[in-house]
Structures are given as structure tokens and as C-alpha cells.
Chain A
Amino acid sequence: MFGLKRDWTVTLPERYFTFEDYEGGEARWCPGCGDHAILTAVQRICRDEQLPPEQVVSVSGIGCSSRFPHYMGTYGFHGLHGRALPVAAGVKARRPELKVWVATGDGDCCSIGAGHWIHAIRYNMDMTVMLFDNAIYGLTKKQTSPTSPKGLSTNTHPRGAWLPPLNPTQATLGFTNVSFVAQTVDWNPVHLHATLKKAYEHKGLSFVRILQRCPTYTDKVFDDLQSDPRKILVLEHERGVPVDPALDRVFPTRQAHDPSDMGAARALAARDDVFAIGLLFQDESCPRYEDFTRRGLDMSVDDKLAGLDAALDRFAL
């Protein structure tokens, strides 16, 4: 049209952000810890999306993985053990425009924070929740977590964990108003990045369980998945996590899966012969609680005071 080459109506943002803009303190996880890969993937997405760092908040509970906010050059909230999700919900409730990334461990989320987990899923506020699942309490030095495999020897169960592990994906798919559930592994940065990007783009709470290696305490738990690529089942769908051709060689086993099919998603989550990676379930029509909590955000302080006065006046004698 008229020889206009670019979209002239779009204003270029004044600022440009490099990877370094999303870097905080030097990451002090053990060398080889899967947390490094997850941090890099999130920083890359922020950079690729050119998110102004002051518009990004990373929120966590307590644990190795929960040190995440320290390493992000953005706003962050290192919360209390198990309380990452309520803090994140609080941020979203009054600052819905902020991009929120939640880092929570298998202990943090599925044990002490389990109550909050259920309700955060139901609130479905627009944020990206990353479950760093290393099947152990790492920070407290090798205690059984809800996802520790049966028989794993830990400091709390030196002769082996007693109970079958909790399956966080299956559980999340059972919570009311769940809108996005995906799985990936930290040791494939291509799939990890693609999954987190898909989760970031989702409108609502996206829950991503990431199998995360802890070379220090659970060195062997993912050995079978790593040594036998057939054990990883890559989910494919046009609305799913895009599968890069680079994965063909590493993960040859594929299955088509429609992410709107809850029944199939639950069946996939329950399989213990393979670990399905990709998007299991997505429904963007689920209501989001911030659409309710943001009400009145545009009220001026004076209006609020006047409203408060009026309410209090009703109690005046």
C-alpha cells in the first residue's frame, strides 16, 4: 500500500534488552545442576520477547530452585517455603500487567505448598509456573520429597522411600479450572525453551513440570530416561509445543496428541512406561481471577477514600 515498506503505524520501543539485562547475581547452584538450564531458557525468552526487566517478576518459595529470583536481573520475591504461588497471585491481583514467572520445587509446591497449589491452579491467574522436579529436597540435603521414587535412599528414608511417588502432572490435571499443563526435561534446552515459550504465551496459569537433574543428591533418578531415548515420548500437535527438527535424532519416539483432549492428557500423564514431554492440556477459555481482582484499579485515591468514607458512614451513630 502506497509503497509503505514497514508497518509505519507501529512505534519501535525506545529500549533494547540484551541477555545481560536479565542476569542477576552469579548462579550458585552446583555445577551440572539442571537449574542453570531453566534459568537460561527463561532469560532467553525475556530477551527474545524484549520484556522490560522492570515489568518482570520472578517469585519463588524456598529450596535450591527457589534461589531463582536472585539470579534474574528483574524484580523478584524470594518467599516463604511453600508460599510462592500465593505471593505470585498477590502480585497479579493488583499488578495484572506484570509478567510473572514462578520457580517452585517439588518439595515447595507438592508438599508444604500443596494447598496453595490447588487454589492457584483454580485461580488461573496469568503466570508461568515452573515446577523444578528433582525428586528430592535439595537445599536441606537429600530428604524424601513427594516425588521421590519408591525405594530412593534419602536422609529421611535411608532404606528407601516407602510410598509410591505423587504425580504432580496427574494431580494438576485433576484440579478445577486448570488451563495449561506441560512437561519437559532440563537436559534438552531446545524442548525446554520451546515449552516455556508456549507456557509464557498462554493466557492464564501455565503449569510446567520440568524434570530437573540434581547431580549432587539424585544423580541416578533420571538415568533410564537419559540413557534410553525411547522412554521420552514427544507429543506433537499443531497447537502443541513446536517440535524442532533438531529433536528428531535425540527423541525419536512421537505421538500425536490434541491438547484440548483432557481424557487423553490424563491418560498420558498416568503412563509410567514413558515420560510424555510437550503440551498435555490447554484451554484458554478458563476464567482468570485477575479479571475480577483488577476491578477498581482505575479508581483514584480520592474516589477510594470517598467510597471508604461512605461505607464507614453507614456505621456512624
Chain B
Amino acid sequence: MTAPTDAERRPVAHLPLPAGGADAAALIPVRRFHLAGEPGALAPLPDGAVPAVLADVARAPAPPTDYPVLVDGQGQVHGLDEALAAAAAGMPALLVDNLPRLAQQIRARSGELDERAAAPAVGEAADRLVAQLALKPGPQGELVNALEHLIKALPEGAHLVGLAPDVDLRLLWRTTHAALGARREALVARWTPLAHGLRQRLEVDRHKREGRSAQAVQAANAGGARFFDAGALAQAMGTHRGTEALSDGEREALSQALATLQAPVEAPRLVVVHGGDCQAPWLAGTEAVQVVAAKDPFAEAEALWGAQAAEFARRYQAARYAALVLEDRYEADKHGPWLDAFDAQAFDDDELAALPAVVVVTSDKALARALAPASKALRGHAPVRILCRVTPTADADGPTLDHSHLELGYLGMSHRQALVQQTTVGRAAHLQAALARADAAHRPSLTLVGVAHTIDGSPPPLGAWLHASAGIEGRAHPLFTYDPAAGTHWARRLSCEGNPAPDAHWPTHTVALGTDRLEDWAFTFADQAVLERAYAAHLRVVPEACAAHPDLMPIAEWLAATEDDRAHRVPTVWVMSPQGGLLRAAVSRPLALAAQDRLDFWHTLQELVGVDNAHVQAAIDRTRDDLQAAHAAELAALQAAHAAEVARVERETAQEALGRLAAALTGGAAFNLSAGASAPAPAKTPEAIAETLPAPAADPEPTAAPESAPEPPADPWIESILCTSCNDCINLNGQLFVYNGSKQAMIGDPEAGTFAELVRAAEACPSKCIHPGAPMNPNEPNLDDLIARAAKFN
């Protein structure tokens, strides 16, 4: 791949040229700050300062956000723009052109939105859009109409979900509620024939025991009873013919199984367990949700799941029993003990999937304090799901930076058999996919969700969504999925999809400095720290007098440098002040080392997925060397063969020429000038041979499509782009011919005119773009003549 040219590099931020001198004396306090943390007289970053690569984003009229997202009835997340575009597919350009404005209208009101049914919300935004555009009556009607269609085309049961602090729980509820509803319905459908069969068995048995009363026979033959004597028939049917009646025990077992299968499934679909810190009052009142606060939520979750499993085991056991009985395969000695011991271990996947989702909702801080019980849950059999909210920039102990970061995800992976994922509210679709994966896993899981708030709870300077996004960008919270079910190799189990610049240390962004200087700047953990007031003490503005001093080094370079190179250097980040000035900020040593720590973890993940991995590199080198050696040997062999062949040809040609010369001189065979043509052709060169060696399978000859006779055109049509808007056809019949949105003619109502009018219009049309097709009305006069005239326009 060639590096992009300057024209292709699109700057994401436009900044003034960095100014500053290289005064060594001015650098002394900067060095002191970096090494000893003494701020001295150095200014802190101004309030509202942002990382310089985000300058243009900061200047935008509203903070960027990917919310609200549209969640369909199945709990699937769709981006708002994508969902609107999908619903508007094939609709008029007037609507399609205005989708961004519609989305803007929706977003403008989504600040305070938790969630809302999509249709009314989009409907209100559509009304505001129509009012905003104030189109002329014609197009306005068309737009209103199209908007109505768009709303009808939204996915069924769709909701708009905003970036509320509990968006993870809202997505969790929507995902599990829909999925469990469907799964339980499927189970009940599986049980219905079993229950029916059991009922029949019991009925037959009842008849056998009670005999056929005359009333019963009569009742059973309602209409037909007047043709025969029910009493006599009842007598004749007797009571003890055929199979034996059920024993009391069997009857009892069947009745119990029937009752179990018929009892409505009232178990909750979602059980949320928390340690007393889950702020989602709406959950408690939500249908089929149980909220439990517990001192040890992990053990409680296991217990709750166990209780639910026992309850469901009764039903599953009844179903198994019913199936055996109905197939006449039930043997008490053989199946009895197995059924008595029936528990969750014996559930099949569909059965497991119908159990309530038991989710522990916790935070990074709480989880760090409860590692032992959480670890136990992650090693257990109960598929308890831990949903842990993580503040990406903070450590579990707060913003101290004096310990390395506790990587809960890495710790989670050490449980080997648990599903572990790191996701973020900044990527709603990724988050929902993670929740769905945990739902389908049937094993304990740990889902770490990066949240959108700052460490100290102050409003994120560029909005919540961007704050969460920056967590991924600065490698504070890389996305990953560790799925033990995906295979036996790390390469299969671990995926880091969704991270920016997956092969690099840090993502880089092109910035424009002044009018024509383009540079690529990395976004690191230290840049991300600019967005956190809690780290204010770790960043200081470098005085202008030394801002261009060579001992200042962008932190990405500093981190990549050797210890020696770092020794006298101070790492820096670029920052934009609220006034639009470009400032250089020195980074404290603890913050620089925290960036190193985050980079190290990112590198660990990269290695585990095979990026920048020493083993992989060694294998690549080895394979390349082997291939090169094999190639060189083959080439040498070919060259030797070629040389031998050339020598042979030369020898034979010379002998032949000599022979001919001798013959000519001695008056033998006539000397033929064209005889050279009979000389053996020289052998192919090694290059030519090499070319023929790996001869790729030639593409099959393209076969010509069979010429099919052109279908006779039936409907009239107009090649609208060729219409010159001359009015000729419209004047002839303004209903048959109408103008489209670009004032170019098209067929309006094909039934509003005659074939004769179509033919006359085609003849009059200066750009010959009207094709009359075939007549619709076979009784129109002069049809033969008209069809002949129409032929040359079809």
C-alpha cells in the first residue's frame, strides 16, 4: 500500500502554527515538573482545554453523538442514520436528501432521552422538519407523504435509546426480554403436544376405570346418537377390554407431569443482582424483571440461578418423562433414577436458553473489592453474567496513578472458561453484540462496559459520547472479546475487533497546522487525560519561550524512545485552549508512566491476537527464508538446464551448418538460404520457464450469453434524462405525461390517454425519448397504423 499523498490526507483538525522559542532556562521548571511533580510557576491547562486533534470537534455547534440508536423489537441496535436510510430505501430524493436534517431533528431532542418508541419520536421530528423547511405546497405534500411512509417502514417495535447513564441496562433488558420471550414460546410449543398426549392417556385411563356410561357415549356422539342405542353400546364396549389401566402411581405421575407442563411459565426473564448500588428504579417496575440487592451479589446470583434451574428442571423433567411415556419407552427401573436426579447438567441448549438471565450489575471499584467471590462465580457452572461498569481513565482505586492499572479483563481471561469482553457505551452496536453473546454463551461471563462519565463526575468537555469514544482511542479501554467456545487457539478465542489502528501503538490523526502544513499526531492515554479534570495536576502548560525546545518530545515518541533517549526529554501533548490557541503541555512522570502501562496492556492484547508478536515474526522470517532458499535453488537448476540446452543447440546448429557447407562445396544438397528455419528452436529462458511454472488456472472462456429474442415492449416509458422540458407532450395530455422533480417528463397515468396520443407525442418529441410501447386498448381505432408508427420509437 502506498502512503497517502497530501491531497488524500484529510486533516481532522485545523490549528494555528505552533509558536515558541528554545530558551533553555525556561525549560528548567518544565523538567522539574515532569520529574518531581512540582508545578512551580507553570500554568495549569485552561478550563475547557481539549486535546488538539479534537479542535474541530470542539468548534462544532453541538457535541458529536452517535445516540440515540434505534433498537428493534429483537433488541438489535441500528445506527440512527442507517436505520433511517434503510427505511427510506427507494423513496423520493426529496426525502433522502433530507434524512440528515431529520436525524439532526431527532438528535436535537435526544439529550434528555432515555428511550422512547421510535414511531412517535420520528413523527414529531418529521413535523419539526416540515416546519423548518417550509417548502412550497407541492413538494411539502410529497415530503409529508414520504415521511409517513418512512415511519411505517421503521422496524416493528423499534425504540430510540439515548445515552442515559443506564443505557447498558436498557439494551440488556431489550435484548433479553425479546430473546427470552421467543425462546419460552418455542418451549411451550414443544410441550403442547406432550401435554395433549398426556391428557389423552389420562382420559383413556379414566374411561377404562369408570366404564362407558350411556351418557358418556351419547355425549361423545352428540348428533349421531339418535341412530343407535347408547346404553346398549356402552354395555357392549365394556370396561376391561384392551390394555391395562394405569396404576395409581403411574396415574399420579402422569397427572403431575401434565400439571407441571401446563402451568404457565411465570419466571422472570431478567434477574438483576447488585450490591446495593444499582441506580435504575425503572427496572424494578418493569415486566418480567426481578431486582435483588445482596451483600455478596455474586454468590446470590449463583444461588438465584440455581433456584431457577431447579424450578425449570421440574418442567424439563416432566417433558422428558411425558415424551418417554408417550413413545411407550418409559421403564421405571431404567429411567426413574435418571429423572429423579435430573438437573441443569442435563439441560439441552434450548432449555438452558429459556432460563432467566441472571446478571450481576457492578462497577470496577466494587469488583476490585470483591475479586474472590467474583472469581468463584466466573469459575462456576451457573451462567452468571457479570456486567461491570468501568471508568476507563480511572483505576479501581481512583485517579492516583501510583499503581499500575488493574486490568479486570485480563484477570477475567485467567478464568479460562468464562466469556470475557470489554465493550463501551460509546459503541452501542458493539455493546449490544456483547450482551447478546453473553446471553448465548451458557457459561459465566464478565462484560466490562466503558462508561461515558468523567472520573470526578464533572460534565465531559466534549459530551458523553465522545468521552466514551476517547476511552477506546487512547487505549485506556481497548475493545476485546475472549470467547472460550470459539476454539482452542488464542487466535480464535481472542478478538480485538473494533479498535482504531489495530496494528499500531496509538491511532494517529492528520492535523493541519497553519495553511499548508500537515502532520500526523498520535492520540495517547496522556491526550485522553486532558479530558479528565482529575488529572489536571499532571499537565502543565509549557511557557512559549521554550515551547520549541528540542528536549520536548511528543509523548508517543517519548514512549517509543530508549531509556537513554528519554533521559533528558520531557514528554508533551498538544492542547487547544477554548480561545483556539495551540498550547504545548508537559506531562508528569506518573502520567507518562500510566500511558506506558496502558500501552503495555494494549501490546499484550496485540501479541495475543498475533500482532507484533515475536513468535509470529520469527515464524514469518523462517518461512520467508525457506521460500527464498527454495526459489533460489529452483532458479539455479533452471539456469543450469538452460545453459546446457543453449550449448546443445549451438553445437548441433554448428554441426548442421558445417554439414551443409560441406555438402554445398562438394556439390551435394542444394544450399537453401531458408534452411536456418529448420534449426531447433532455442530452449526457453529461465524467466520464461518460471513464468509457465505456477501457471494459474486460466479463467474459463467467457461464454457469450445466448441471444434471446427481444421481448416486445409492453408498457409505454420515457427516458426522462433525455427530456428537454419542451412541453410538447404535456400540452398534448397533461395526465398521461407529467414532469418529475427535475421537470423532465415521465408517464403519469398510463390509462389517462390513448395509444394514438402516445404515438403522436413520440413523433413530436424533439429528443425522441418517448417510447409508446404496445396499445392497451385492443379496440382503439386505426391500431394497425398506430402500431406501425410506434415501431420506430420502441
Q: Are B64 and A31 in contact (CB under 8 A)?
A: no
State A5–B429 Cα separation when bound (angstroms).
Answer: 14
Does B47 interact with chain A (Cβ within 8 Å)? no
Closest Cβ–Cβ distance, residue B235 to chain A (whole Å)? 83
Residues of A within 8 A of B (CB): 1-6, 8-9, 11-12, 14-16, 18-21, 27, 31-34, 36-37, 39-40, 43-44, 47, 186-190, 213, 215, 246
Q: Are B426 and A3 in contact (CB under 8 A)?
A: yes
Can you name 16 A-B pairs with beta carbons within 8 Å? A1-B509, A2-B470, A3-B66, A4-B64, A11-B60, A12-B100, A15-B132, A16-B97, A16-B98, A16-B133, A18-B138, A18-B139, A19-B741, A21-B136, A31-B728, A32-B727
Q: With CB as the reference atom, state the residue of chain B lying closest to A9.
A: B56
Q: Are A37 and B724 in contact (CB under 8 A)?
A: yes
State A39–B427 Cα separation when bound (angstroms).
Answer: 48
Give which listed residue, A12, A39, A187, contacts B766 with CB less than 8 A: A187
State A187–B56 Cα separation when bound (angstroms).
Answer: 47
Contacts of A36 in B (CB 8 A): 724-727
Give which listed residue, A2, A20, A187, contacts B473 with CB less than 8 A: A2
Closest Cβ–Cβ distance, residue A292 to chain B (whole Å)? 24
Q: With CB as the reference atom, state the residue of chain A lying closest to B468.
A: A3
Does B461 interact with chain A (Cβ within 8 Å)? no
State A188–B136 Cα separation when bound (angstroms).
Answer: 29
Q: A2-B469, A5-B79, A190-B721 are in contact. List 17 more A-B contacts (CB 8 A).
A: A2-B466, A8-B56, A16-B101, A18-B138, A19-B743, A20-B135, A20-B139, A21-B136, A27-B727, A32-B728, A40-B724, A43-B743, A44-B742, A44-B743, A186-B724, A187-B766, A213-B766
Interface mask (B26-69 → A, CB under 8 Å = 1, otherwise 0): 00000000000000000000000000011011011100101000
Does B313 interact with chain A (Cβ within 8 Å)? no
Q: Are A15 and B133 in contact (CB under 8 A)?
A: yes
* CB-contacts of B489-513 with A (<8 A): 500, 507, 509
Give which listed residue, B473, B500, B726, contacts A33 with CB less than 8 A: B726
Q: Are B767 and A188 in contact (CB under 8 A)?
A: yes
Q: Are A246 and B766 in contact (CB under 8 A)?
A: no
Closest Cβ–Cβ distance, residue B735 to chain A (whole Å)? 17
Contacts of B766 in A (CB 8 A): 32, 34, 187, 213, 215
Report if A20-B138 is in contact (Cβ < 8 Å); known contacts: A9-B57, A44-B742, A187-B766. Answer: yes
Report if A189-B469 is in contact (Cβ < 8 Å); known contacts: A19-B742, A40-B744. Answer: no
Q: Which 4 A-B pairs have the closest CB atoms?
A: A37-B724, A40-B725, A18-B139, A8-B64
Q: Are B726 and A37 in contact (CB under 8 A)?
A: yes
Contacts of B79 in A (CB 8 A): 5
Does B722 interact with chain A (Cβ within 8 Å)? yes
Contacts of A188 in B (CB 8 A): 722, 767
Give which listed residue, B54, B100, B135, contacts A18 with CB less than 8 A: B135
State A5–B766 Cα separation when bound (angstroms).
Answer: 46
Closest Cβ–Cβ distance, residue A52 to chain B (whole Å)? 13
Q: Are A3 and B56 in contact (CB under 8 A)?
A: no
Q: Are B100 and A6 in contact (CB under 8 A)?
A: yes
Closest Cβ–Cβ distance, residue B467 to chain A (whole Å)? 10
Q: Are A9 and B724 in contact (CB under 8 A)?
A: no
Main secondary structure of the interface of A (DSSP, over half): loop
Residues of B within 8 A of A (CB): 12, 53-54, 56-57, 59-61, 64, 66, 79, 81, 94, 97-98, 100-101, 104, 132-136, 138-139, 426-427, 466, 469-470, 472-473, 500, 507, 509, 721-728, 731, 741-744, 764, 766-767
Contacts of A15 in B (CB 8 A): 132-134
State A20–B101 Cα separation when bound (angstroms).
Answer: 20
Closest Cβ–Cβ distance, residue B147 to chain A (whole Å)? 13
Residue of A33, A37, A43 with most partner-chain B CB within 10 A: A37
Contacts of B426 in A (CB 8 A): 3
State A19–B767 Cα separation when bound (angstroms).
Answer: 22
Contacts of A187 in B (CB 8 A): 724, 766-767
Q: With CB as the reference atom, state the residue of chain B lying closest to A48.
A: B742
Closest Cβ–Cβ distance, residue B182 to chain A (whole Å)? 31
Closest Cβ–Cβ distance, residue A72 to chain B (whole Å)? 13
Residue of B61, B134, B507, B509 with most partner-chain A CB within 10 A: B61
Q: With CB as the reference atom, state the residue of chain A lying closest to B97.
A: A16
Contacts of A213 in B (CB 8 A): 766
State A8–B59 Cα separation when bound (angstroms).
Answer: 10
Q: Are A32 and B726 in contact (CB under 8 A)?
A: yes
Contacts of A8 in B (CB 8 A): 56-57, 60, 64
Q: Are A5 and B767 in contact (CB under 8 A)?
A: no
State A21–B140 Cα separation when bound (angstroms).
Answer: 12
Contacts of A246 in B (CB 8 A): 721-722
Closest Cβ–Cβ distance, residue A28 to chain B (whole Å)? 10
State A8–B470 Cα separation when bound (angstroms).
Answer: 16
Residue of A4, A5, A20, A188 with most partner-chain B CB within 10 A: A4
Contacts of A186 in B (CB 8 A): 724
Contacts of A190 in B (CB 8 A): 721-722
Q: Are B100 and A20 in contact (CB under 8 A)?
A: no
Q: Are B57 and A18 in contact (CB under 8 A)?
A: no
Contacts of A34 in B (CB 8 A): 724, 726, 766
Q: Are B66 and A5 in contact (CB under 8 A)?
A: yes
Closest Cβ–Cβ distance, residue A248 to chain B (whole Å)? 13
Closest Cβ–Cβ distance, residue A190 to chain B (whole Å)? 6
Q: Are A189 and B64 in contact (CB under 8 A)?
A: no
Give which listed residue, B132, B138, B472, B764, contacts A32 with CB less than 8 A: B764
State A34–B728 Cα separation when bound (angstroms).
Answer: 12
Q: With CB as the reference atom, state the residue of chain A lying closest to B54.
A: A2
State A2–B767 Cα separation when bound (angstroms).
Answer: 51
Q: Are B721 and A18 in contact (CB under 8 A)?
A: no
Closest Cβ–Cβ distance, residue B741 to chain A (whole Å)? 6
State A32–B729 Cα separation when bound (angstroms).
Answer: 9
Contacts of B727 in A (CB 8 A): 27, 31-32, 36
State A213–B764 Cα separation when bound (angstroms).
Answer: 14
Contacts of A47 in B (CB 8 A): 742
Q: Are A31 and B743 in contact (CB under 8 A)?
A: no
Q: With CB as the reference atom, state the residue of chain A lying closest to B470.
A: A2
Report if A11-B61 is in contact (Cβ < 8 Å); known contacts: A5-B66, A32-B766, A188-B767. Answer: yes
Report if A3-B469 is in contact (Cβ < 8 Å); known contacts: A8-B64, A16-B98, A190-B721. Answer: yes
Q: With CB as the reference atom, state the residue of chain B lying closest to A4.
A: B64
State A4–B472 Cα separation when bound (angstroms).
Answer: 13
Contacts of B133 in A (CB 8 A): 15-16
Contacts of B767 in A (CB 8 A): 187-189
Q: Are A9 and B60 in contact (CB under 8 A)?
A: yes
Q: Are B136 and A18 in contact (CB under 8 A)?
A: yes
Closest Cβ–Cβ distance, residue A222 to chain B (whole Å)? 10
Residue of B97, B472, B742 with most partner-chain A CB within 10 A: B742
Q: Are A37 and B725 in contact (CB under 8 A)?
A: yes
Closest Cβ–Cβ distance, residue B564 to chain A (whole Å)? 34
Contacts of A2 in B (CB 8 A): 54, 57, 64, 466, 469-470, 473, 500
Q: With CB as the reference atom, state the residue of chain B lying closest to A226.
A: B766
Q: Are B507 and A1 in contact (CB under 8 A)?
A: yes
State A215–B724 Cα separation when bound (angstroms).
Answer: 14
Give which listed residue, B60, B81, B723, B764, contacts A189 with CB less than 8 A: B723
State A8–B79 Cα separation when bound (angstroms).
Answer: 15
Residue of B134, B509, B766 with most partner-chain A CB within 10 A: B766
State A2–B473 Cα separation when bound (angstroms).
Answer: 6
Q: With CB as the reference atom, state the residue of chain B lying closest to A47.
A: B742
Contacts of A12 in B (CB 8 A): 100-101, 104
Contacts of A32 in B (CB 8 A): 726-728, 764, 766
Closest Cβ–Cβ distance, residue A252 to chain B (whole Å)? 16
State A3–B467 Cα separation when bound (angstroms).
Answer: 11
Contacts of B60 in A (CB 8 A): 8-9, 11
Q: With CB as the reference atom, state the residue of chain A lying closest to B63.
A: A8
Closest Cβ–Cβ distance, residue B669 to chain A (whole Å)? 58
State A186–B723 Cα separation when bound (angstroms).
Answer: 10
Contacts of B139 in A (CB 8 A): 18-20
Contacts of B744 in A (CB 8 A): 40, 189
Contacts of A189 in B (CB 8 A): 721-725, 744, 767
State A300–B27 Cα separation when bound (angstroms).
Answer: 47
